[in-house]
Homo-oligomer: A and B are copies of this chain.
Amino acid sequence: MTVSEQKATDRAGPAASDLAFAHHDHAHCSTDALARAEALTAAKGARMTPVRRRVLEILLEEHRALGAYDVLSRLVSEGFGNQPPVAYRALEFLVEQGLAHRIQRLNAFAACVHAGEDHAPAFLICRDCHTVAEAEAGAARAALETEAARAGFLVERTTIEAMGLCPNCRTHAA
């Protein structure tokens, strides 16, 4: 990473204290994200319907990734449709709108904690407590694009994920 790239990362990236692992006022974190989601979809003319809103709320409850069927079972118990497309369509919408991310490693979905910020996310997945934190992947993505460019490959989308131990679980393990 060059010095200028590091500075860019420092400007754009979340502070370490923003990360899911740190203690924080999660009720605020969650309602804030939901409010921003409403504003963003309204601005784009996209429709934040009840199912979609509820799915986002469910994802926001914890900093974990949920499978489509986990989400679906929650929806069913609240009177929404009980077939897979109900969950998959709402999740697809949220991902398209940048309000949620798909975690490839887990075949699961997590709410975006930086909605509207046009960020390059990496995901830090704790194998122990299953918390998923969204980290800044600008530098990693740049390195990947550099490598791709050597091959003449045009990068359109990237998947950058790390599996390991979060600070809390490291401490417990030690």
Point out residues on A near B: beta carbons under 8 Å: 1-2, 5, 9, 13, 16, 19, 21, 104-105, 122, 124, 126-127, 133, 135-137, 139-148, 150-167, 170
Contacts and interface: CB of A to CB of B under 8 A. Distances in A.
A162 B152 contact: no
Contact of A153 (B136, B159, B164): B164
A170 B151 contact: no
B151 A140 contact: no
B147 A158 contact: no
21 contacts: A1-B5, A1-B146, A9-B147, A19-B151, A21-B153, A104-B161, A124-B151, A126-B153, A135-B150, A135-B153, A137-B147, A139-B143, A140-B141, A148-B162, A153-B164, A153-B166, A155-B163, A156-B162, A156-B165, A157-B163, A160-B160
